[in-house]
């Protein structure tokens, strides 16, 4: 096994709070082991364009507490083509990069898998960074804890005004294909109902839930993941208003505030642990895998298996919401 000499590090796809803490951990661990490290800016697009900058201990000072990503991010249509990946490979070779650490989610790992199969001389490992917490191979993704804390802070405020006005709020949270944000925060805010894309939720089931609830409740919160089938929060709001003209209904879409903000301590620690593990994994000859944390231990999952798991909703969570929102 030839020792790794230079790691290229990049963030790709949607940003998530804690990416900077992971960047810091990868850079400093590489330096600790005398491995050179370079930052590839703007994900796969930057790799194709050779947007590559040297990184040292100082370049990652004071970033552990910041949301976003200092390396910038985005997706690349060009990288989905064999020609695009060839251009990226040539740039890596030109910059003497012999290993990669990819920070991102589903789309990032799909790209990493194809690239790793086409160019096995460049080792590549991934770190799970997405607020959606929708990857196999890790209990939690980097950014999820911060996002759910942002959500409960916002919805606690919504609850206060809902209570004052005797209103029903439909709150839409992120999760195009995943209800993990809606599920946990639904429990955390004491929601009356949760609607997630992984389970068949129809509007009549929601009406039933609302009818079952205590009649003297003055406020109600329905948490909806943006990808839920009956449509987004506005669709649901319209349907509720039609069925129950007496409910004073309001809709609140939390949107991209969920993607920003200072990472929580849990996310900083997760990012630091996984960042260290990624560099050590490359040193030990790992490639084609995502580094995650399962039951508090570092685990490796092949990229092909780490992609989104759409139907694994914890039924216990739904049951808890139904039991506790009496």
Q: Which residues bind ligand F6P (CB under 6 A)?
A: 14, 105, 130-132, 174-176, 226, 259
**Catalytic residue at 132?**
yes
The tokens of 227 are what?
A: 């990808």
Q: Smallest distance, Å, CB 189 to ligand F6P?
A: 18
197: DSSP letter: T
Choice between 84 and 105, CB closer to ligand F6P: 105
Choice between 8 and 175, CB closer to ligand F6P: 175
Choice between 3 and 255, CB closer to ligand F6P: 255
Neighbours of 61 (CB within 10 A): 9
Q: Which of 131, 48, 112 is nearest to 305 (CA)?
A: 112
- In total, the chain counts a number of residues equal to 326
The tokens of 96 are what?
A: 């003497």
Residue nearest to ligand F6P (CB): 176
Q: Smallest distance, Å, CB 131 to ligand F6P?
A: 5
Choice between 130 and 306, CB closer to ligand F6P: 130
Cβ(144)–Cβ(256) under 8 Å?
no
Residue among 132, 134, 228, 267 flagged as catalytic: 132
Q: Smallest distance, Å, CB 16 to ligand F6P?
A: 7
Residue 273 to residue 291: CA distance in whole angstroms? 10
The tokens of 182 are what?
A: 């809606």
Residue 141 to residue 275: CA distance in whole angstroms? 13
Q: Smallest distance, Å, CB 258 to ligand F6P?
A: 7
The tokens of 5 are what?
A: 């000499």
The set of catalytic residues is: 132
């Amino acid at each position: 096994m030839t020792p790794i000499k230079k790691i290229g590090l990049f963030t790709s796809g949607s940003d998530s709070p804690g990416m900077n803490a992971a960047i810091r951990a990868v850079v400093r661990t590489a330096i600790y082991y005398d491995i050179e490290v370079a930052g590839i800016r703007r994900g796969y697009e930057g790799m194709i364009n050779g947007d590559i900058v040297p990184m040292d201990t100082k370049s990652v000072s004071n970033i552990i507490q910041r949301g976003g990503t200092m390396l910038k991010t985005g997706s690349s249509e060009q990288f989905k083509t064999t020609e695009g990946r060839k251009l990226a490979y040539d740039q890596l070779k030109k910059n003497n990069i012999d290993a990669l650490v990819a920070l991102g989610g589903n789309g990032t790992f799909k790209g990493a898998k194809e690239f790793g199969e086409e160019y096995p001389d460049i080792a590549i490992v991934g770190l799970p960074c997405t607020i959606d917490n929708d990857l196999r191979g890790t209990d939690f993704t980097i950014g999820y804890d911060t996002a759910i804390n942002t959500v409960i802070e916002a919805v606690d405020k919504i609850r206060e005004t809902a209570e004052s006005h005797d209103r029903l709020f439909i709150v839409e949270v992120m999760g195009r294909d995943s209800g993990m944000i809606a599920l946990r925060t639904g429990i955390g805010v004491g929601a009356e109902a949760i609607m997630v894309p992984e389970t068949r939720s129809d509007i009549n089931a929601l009406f039933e839930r609302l009818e079952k609830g205590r009649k003297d409740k003055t406020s109600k919160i329905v948490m909806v993941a943006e990808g839920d089938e009956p449509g987004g929060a506005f669709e649901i709001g319209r349907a509720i208003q039609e069925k129950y003209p007496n409910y004073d209904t309001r809709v609140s879409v939390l949107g991209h505030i969920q993607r920003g903000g200072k990472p929580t301590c849990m996310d900083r620690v997760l990012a630091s642990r996984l960042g260290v593990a990624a560099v050590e994994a490359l040193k030990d000859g790992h490639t084609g895998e995502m580094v995650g944390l399962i039951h508090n231990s570092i685990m490796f999952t092949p990229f092909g298996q780490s992609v989104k798991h759409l139907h694994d909703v914890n039924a216990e969570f739904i049951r808890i919401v139904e039991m506790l929102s009496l």
